Structure 1
Amino acid sequence: MPSELPLHSVSVTGVVVRRDGRVLAIKRADDGRWVPPGGVLELDESPEAGVVREVYEETGVRVEPEGLTGVYKNMERGVVTLAFRCRVVEGAGRATEEAAEVAWLTVDEARARMVEARAVRVLDAVRADGPFVRVHDGVRVR
């Protein structure tokens, strides 16, 4: 008997922080918004493996997750995202099918270019007092 409860989607976000403090960001090919790389977690993969895969698919950068920095729920869409701070293993970044542009932004540039619901993931990842649990509507943090 199928469940009557609504289902959640689980996604991962990689906040990739370079040695100079800049963070990896993509300009999405589908909607033109600047975001940290990430995407939907596959059923057969761990969150850490998923963030490594998603960052590589979207940017060509190989990363190693350093730790969970936040859990974010889009209350409008039922998407729960696990954000990980990551370090670069290899690669500088390149445009892909999903990323029209790839850039290494300062934290202030990320805050200015990204909607609040995405920028907060970057801001949380560079703090030492997380992980954080936050809810948002896709744009604004509540």
Structure 2
Amino acid sequence: MLLYMSNSAREAQSTPLHSVSVAGAVVREDGRLLAIRRADNGTWELPGGVLELAEAPEAGVVREVFEETGIQVEVDELTGVYKNTTRGIVALVFRCKPSGGSERTSDESTAVDWLTPEEVSERMAEVYAVRLLDALAGNGPHVRSHDGRQLT
């Protein structure tokens, strides 16, 4: 039996699928940075998650940070775009400032802490630490790729 596939169907099959996530690089007035210890794997990361289909990126950051930490934020600016080339995840990181709320854990976080830049480098894997450090450095947005473990 001969199967026919239209050009548009062939193109759709070969189009790579990506997931878009958002994360907040939340910087307090004293320079400390908001971080969570993830419940699923115990790693320290920025609060964030998958952007919902009809959601604006800035709204997604506000929602994700609050859900995971209890901290309300105001979004300042996009500071970086980071692609996990292994998993096809594109992360948009926004520098934010806290505007209310209080720290609490969630189903997705077992700890919430305000870290110094030095503590960020000590506790986080390079691919997550660089997102916070890029947000502090400014002169972005930075665009970086990684394989899930290290920058490429």
Which residue identity does 2:150 align to in structure 1? R
Q: Output the CA distance in 2 between the equivalents of 1:72 and 1:38.
A: 13
Q: If the length of structure 1 is used for normalisation, what is the TM-score?
A: 0.97
1:94-109 alignment runs, 5 A limit: 94-109=104-119
Instruction: Choose the corresponding residue for 2:82, options 59, 72, 81.
Output: 72
Structure 2 unaligned spans of 5+ = 1-8
Aligned-pair distance for 1:128? 2.2
- 1:22 aligned to 2:44? no
- 1:126 aligned to 2:118? no
Identical positions, percent: 58
Once the two structures are superposed, residues 80-135 of structure 1 have per-residue CA deviations (whole angstroms, 9 ceiling, x without a partner) of 00000000010231111100000000011011100000000001000121110000
Q: Output the CA distance in 1 between the equivalents of 2:74 and 2:67.
A: 14
Q: If the length of structure 2 is used for normalisation, what is the TM-score?
A: 0.91
- 1:110 aligned to 2:120? yes
Count how many residue pairs are aligned between Structure 1 and Structure 2: 142
Larger Rg: 2
CA RMSD of aligned residues (A): 0.9
SS in 2 for 1:126: helix
The structure carrying a bigger helix percent of its residues is 2
